[in-house]
């Protein structure tokens, strides 16, 4: 079955350490996204990528980094520069049709809950 | 003010009731998405619509572009419908979404 796999489900780190969250999809989707979810807030976009070897900053990119070396993989690194890293992180993907018709349903992973102490 | 507002903020219903969740937005959009998030955290896309009405099983989504408003209806609600329902809009060709805060629905048996 096709889908998006995020791992691990729960992650604990000490303050000052970098941590990488995994996101893999076998849907052959071109676009991939990383969102952060905090209690009482809507999802916020961290980074997105529409094609391999290219990515753009979202609304809250500071303290995060990504790579897109393969179509199916879009790992997110939470660096020590991120001031409030404890959150629920969701990865999503979407097929690409054309510049004018990018609208199609998103597919989400099950998320990674990161706790930094 | 958030560009996407959802109401009510929390909702409790009895099994079998007809439920309506609302979403209002303040910008021009190219599409509106309804998403469902279960307690485990994973999110499922329910509908994507840019006009009119869509139906899938017991779920119906409508949108009024002129009024910048969408509703998600659940008929014959069931405890398994208990989840957070999130409205999101896309405003351009790059398809970045703006999300509402979500409505927590609890359906009691």
Read out DSSP for B22-71? EEEESS--SEEEEEEE-TT--EEEEEEESSEEEEETTEEEEEETTTTEEE
Do B39 and B48 contact (CB within 8 A), yes or no?
Answer: no
> Which residues have CB under 8 Å from B87's CB, separation 6+?
B4, B6, B21, B23, B25, B32, B33, B34, B35, B70, B72, B99, B100
- What confidence tens digit (pLDDT) does each residue in A11-30 have? 999 999 999 999 999 999 99
Question: Is the pLDDT reported for residue B30 higher than 80?
Answer: yes
Contacting B with CB below 8 Å, chain A residues are 31, 40-45, 48, 50, 58, 88, 90, 92, 94, 99-100, 102-111, 113
| Chain B residue with the nearest C-alpha to that of A33 | B96
Partner-chain contact A106 B100, CB within 8 Å: no
Predicted pLDDT at B96: 77
Beta bridge partners of A84: none
Average pLDDT of the segment spanning A77-90: 94
Best interface-test mutation with A: which of B40, B41, B100 has the largest number of A CBs within 10 A? B41
* Token reading at A39: 């209690």
Measure the CA angle with vertex A23, ends A18 and A24; round to 5°. Answer: 145
- What confidence tens digit (pLDDT) does each residue in A27-73 have? 999 999 999 999 888 899 999 998 999 999 999 999 999 999 999 99
């Amino acid at each position: 079955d096709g889908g998006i796999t995020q791992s691990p489900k729960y992650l604990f780190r000490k303050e000052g350490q970098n941590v990488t969250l995994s996101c893999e999809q076998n849907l052959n989707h071109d676009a991939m996204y990383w969102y952060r979810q905090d209690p009482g807030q809507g999802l916020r976009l961290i980074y997105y990528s529409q094609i391999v070897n290219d990515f753009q900053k979202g609304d809250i990119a500071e303290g995060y980094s990504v790579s897109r070396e393969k179509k199916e993989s879009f790992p997110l690194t939470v660096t020590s520069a991120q001031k409030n890293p404890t959150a629920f992180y969701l990865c999503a993907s979407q097929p690409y049709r054309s510049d004018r018709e990018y609208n199609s349903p998103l597919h989400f992973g099950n998320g990674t809950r990161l706790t930094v102490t | 003010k958030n560009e996407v507002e959802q109401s009510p903020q929390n909702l409790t219903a009895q099994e079998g009731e007809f439920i309506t969740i609302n979403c209002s937005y303040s910008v021009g959009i190219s599409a509106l998405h309804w998403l469902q998030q279960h307690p485990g955290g994973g999110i499922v896309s329910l509908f994507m619509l840019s006009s009119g009405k869509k139906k899938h099983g017991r779920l119906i989504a409508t949108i009024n572009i002129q009024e910048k408003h969408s509703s998600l209806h659940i008929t014959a609600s069931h405890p398994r419908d208990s989840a957070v329902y999130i409205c999101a809009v896309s405003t351009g060709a790059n398809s970045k979404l703006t999300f509402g805060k979500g409505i927590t629905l609890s359906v009691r048996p």
